[in-house]
């Protein structure tokens, strides 16, 4: 039986496992890979970024500004994960929204519709809140959906309402 320590393919007894260092920012191929997220910053190609509205030789990915009304912090983070290419704001933002997503169980649908009359509005709630769903329809929301369907279809719903893919 051998009494020497296990080595990874070397006969001289030295451990060959490379030192593990977290990747440096220069190893990333894009800002998105590096975890850099900035409102309005769009990653076009590996290592390239541009600001919407400024000319660029690379193609610019469309970004929608989505206002969240009454959406709790947990569900906001879920939406940000489902729609990472879009910019999320709250009612205190100065950025005009391209779409409003409202939690019907936490806001008054009529108030939301009155506040943003020229912006597409999508409302959601749980499947048992039939009264809330009906109130949002009556208030004039462009899309009223149960929460689970929003999670399943978020990218296509946002694209449909904003004409942004």
CATH 3.30.1330.10 fits 65-162, yes or no: no
Distance between CA atoms of residues 17 and 83, nearest Å:
39
Instruction: Assign residue 84 a region (left: φ > 0; alpha: ψ between -120 and 50; beta: otherwise).
Output: alpha
Per domain, the residue ranges of the chain are 19-61, 65-162
- Name the more confident of 132 and 47: 132
Give the pLDDT score at 62: 67
Distance between CA atoms of residues 124 and 88, nearest Å:
17
Q: E-strand spans in the chain?
A: 42-45, 48-50, 65-69, 87-89, 99-103, 121-125, 143-146
Give the pLDDT score at 53: 52
**Positive/negative CA dihedral, 45, 50, 52, 56:** negative
Give the pLDDT score at 6: 43
Residue 137 has pLDDT above 60, yes or no: yes
For tokens 């749980």, what's the residue?
A: 126
Tens digit of each residue's pLDDT (9 = 90 or more) over 65-112: 999 999 999 999 999 999 999 999 988 888 899 999 999 999 999 999
Give the pLDDT score at 94: 86
């Amino acid at each position: 039986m051998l009494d020497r320590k296990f080595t990874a393919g070397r006969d001289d007894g030295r451990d060959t496992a490379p030192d593990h260092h977290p990747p440096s920012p220069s190893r990333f191929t894009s800002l998105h890979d590096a975890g850099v997220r900035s409102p309005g910053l769009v990653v076009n190609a590996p290592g390239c970024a541009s600001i919407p509205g400024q000319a660029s030789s690379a193609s610019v990915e469309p970004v929608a500004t989505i206002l969240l009304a009454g959406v709790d912090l947990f569900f906001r983070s879920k939406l940000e994960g489902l729609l990472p290419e879009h910019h999320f704001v709250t009612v205190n933002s100065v950025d005009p929204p391209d779409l409003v997503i409202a939690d019907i169980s936490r806001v008054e649908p009529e108030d939301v519709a009155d506040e943003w009359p020229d912006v597409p509005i999508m409302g959601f709630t749980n499947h048992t809140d039939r009264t809330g769903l009906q109130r949002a329809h009556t208030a004039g929301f462009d899309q009223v959906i149960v929460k689970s369907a929003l999670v399943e279809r978020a990218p296509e719903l946002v694209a449909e309402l904003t004409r942004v893919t």
